[in-house]
Amino acid sequence: MVTVTETAAKKISELKLEEGKPEWGLRIRIVGGGCSGMSYELGWEDQQGPDDDVVEAQGVRVYIDKHSAPYLAGSEIDFVDNSMMGAGFAIKNPNVKSSCGCGQSHRF
């Protein structure tokens, strides 16, 4: 199960409206790449896939494919706005064994 913080849900809702996609959900998946082997990919999705897990939280939907679900189990999606690092979504994932120096790819 993936959780979505109130801050992340609010930002997802704002971005959907800005992009003219108020009914869409956020797709999060694990893809190969980066110096540690795997990274997160986020994007908009207009509907659930046949094997997707769907998390509905605080008025937003998050779609997770069956390949990514085990890697994301127990994760929290947050939105952070740090003046030194900038703003963006942060995924707190208890399954990560190590990350690269820049924090953009992970080993599970």
> What's the CA angle centered on 24, arms 19 and 26, to 5 degrees?
95
Domain ranges of the chain: 3-97
- pLDDT value of residue 73: 95
- pLDDT value of residue 26: 96
Amino acid letter at 2?
A: V
- Yes or no: domain 3-97 corresponds to CATH 2.60.300.12: yes
Whether the Cβ atoms of residue 73 and residue 65 lie closer than 8 Å to each other: no
- CA separation for the pair 83, 19 (Å, rounded): 24
- pLDDT value of residue 98: 60
- pLDDT value of residue 108: 67
Q: Specify the DSSP class assigned to residue 66.
A: T
**Which residues of the chain fall below pLDDT 70?**
34-36, 83, 85, 98-108
